[in-house]
Amino acid sequence: MLDYLIRRLASTIPVLLAVAAFVFLFVHLLPGDPARLVAGPDASPQDIAAVRADMGLDRPLPMQFLLPFLSSVFVPAATMPVAVRWFTAHQPFTPVVESLRALLTGSPVGSTGYAALAWCAAIALVGYVWSRAAFRRGTR
């Protein structure tokens, strides 16, 4: 049963990556410029270029696709484009990474330390409850 579950979970990873890549490419193949839509109809070319840079649309397509999945491990969330920053800031591992980065560089941890501890406790609690339920099912 566990072998079957592991195989099924492992098979979902390529499917999720394929769906994410399909949606990403579909959005980029649609006509129109998202930066022009965000900047507004009366925006100057400099404003559109600034919005494009802020949203990360001036980066190569592979980087636009991979950056949200890499989280803030390599790049602090505050320096990411606006389109990616929200997604990255709300991942569970971002506070953990930010806290570790602050501890290793000697800068103040701030409130991210509490958020990191809360995420770690929540993940540990879910893992504990899940393993207890799996153990009860296995011993009956």
The string of pLDDT tens digits covering residues 102-112 is: 888 888 888 88
Count: domains in the chain: 1
- Look at residue 126 and tell me if it is in a domain: yes
- Look at residue 84 and tell me if it is in a domain: no
Distances (CA, A) of 122 to 36, 86, 107, 118, 125: 41, 21, 26, 6, 5
- Look at residue 35 and tell me if it is in a domain: no
The string of pLDDT tens digits covering residues 70-96 is: 656 666 777 777 767 777 777 777 788
Domain that holds residue 120: 92-140
- Look at residue 115 and tell me if it is in a domain: yes
The string of pLDDT tens digits covering residues 21-34 is: 888 888 778 788 87
- Look at residue 13 and tell me if it is in a domain: no
In 27-131, DSSP assigns E strands to none
Rounded to two decimals, the pTM is 0.46
3-state SS assignment for residue 59: coil
